[in-house]
Amino acid sequence: MKAKSLFTMMMFVFSLLFVSCEKNELESGSFDFKAHDFRVENVLYSKGSKLKREYQVWGDDRMLRNEYTYDNMGRIIRTGVDYDDWKYYDLYLYNSKEQLESKSSYETYLENQPNLRQIVTYSYDTDGNTAKEMYEWKDINSEMKTRYFLYQYKDGKLAKLEHYEENKQSYYKIYEYYGDKLVKDRFFVPKEKDYVTTDYLYSQELLIYTITYSKTSQSGFMHDERRYYDQNDNLIRIVANHPSLSSMSGATAFLVTFEYEYE
């Protein structure tokens, strides 16, 4: 998807939403957010449990999105889903420094041989931070296509992310922190004066809420997410509100839920 069309799609929704918090609370990213109780009582996993399955919930439908497989060192080596006649999965490869080196995406239909859809390769700076994330795949004409991300850091934290398609920058993001917590990012498209902001809000050291809006005013609401955890801080559920996904004209809510199971 081209950057300009992506930005246009993101700007499509312009509903009203006001969040009851002061400016200094947003900047700190740490306040007692009253909109939802982010602890769940009916589920409890051991602290630091490994993610096993991820589901997407639409109304009464619950669909498996991902299953996770680990090696004996606790690293993810495979994610994906196997259906009766179709499966898709990613295989992870690590280098001698135990850094993720590549991720290869496959899909198989019926009894056919696996089809390699995409390869992602990772490179790192001298501090061990991800410096580049390169995507390569073939289009319907078997022509090789590429896109990649470049990462820039300041004081050990991600400061800027740049996205390129075929060596042309399509967008970039700027990150802001309060202490070690990410509290804001801004999404820009080159040569466009408008931009999109996301605020990250915390409680008890956990990210519990994000809100995305156009420019600098939250009255330009686009979407938000609420996160729910068990008593051992395992992420159990994300409820995302994307009004633009609703077929109802002028809708202010369209909820998509993601649920997580652990080993």
Q: What is the average pLDDT across 208-221?
A: 83
pLDDT of residue 253: 66
Question: For residue 112, what pLDDT band results from cuts at 50, 70 and 90?
Answer: confident
pLDDT of residue 32: 39
**CA dist., res. 43 & res. 49, Å (int):** 13
CA distance readout (Å), 254 to 171, 211, 241: 26, 14, 5
pTM: predicted TM-score of the whole model, two decimal places: 0.81
For residue 5, give the 3-state DSSP assignment: helix
Instruction: Output the six-digit token pair for 204.
Output: 């008890």
The answer to whether residue 8 scores a pLDDT higher than 60 is no
pLDDT, tens digit, for every residue of 41-69? 989 999 999 999 999 997 788 899 999 99
Which residues in 177-212 are b (16+ Cβ under 10 Å) and which e?
bbeebbbbbebbbeeeeebbbbbbbbbeeebbbbbb
**CA dist., res. 144 & res. 115, Å (int):** 15
pLDDT of residue 140: 85
For residues 223 and 239, the answer to whether their CB atoms sit within 8 Å is no
pLDDT of residue 171: 97
pLDDT, tens digit, for every residue of 124-178? 999 999 999 999 998 888 888 999 999 999 999 999 999 999 899 999 999 999 9
Question: For residue 246, what pLDDT band results from cuts at 50, 70 and 90?
Answer: low
**CA dist., res. 96 & res. 10, Å (int):** 40
The answer to whether residue 22 scores a pLDDT higher than 90 is no
Instruction: Output the six-digit token pair for 223.
Output: 């979407």
Q: If you count them, how many residues does the chain have?
A: 263
Domain boundaries, the chain: 3-262
Task: Note the Cα 131 to chain centre separation in Å.
Answer: 18
Of 242 and 93, the structure prediction assigns the larger pLDDT to: 93
pLDDT of residue 212: 93
Q: How far apart are the first and last CA of the chain?
A: 36
Q: What is the average pLDDT across 73-92?
A: 93
For residue 23, give the 3-state DSSP assignment: helix
Question: For residue 28, what pLDDT band results from cuts at 50, 70 and 90?
Answer: very low
The answer to whether residue 1 scores a pLDDT higher than 80 is no
- Partnered with residue 115 across adjacent β-strands are 107
For residues 171 and 185, the answer to whether their CB atoms sit within 8 Å is no
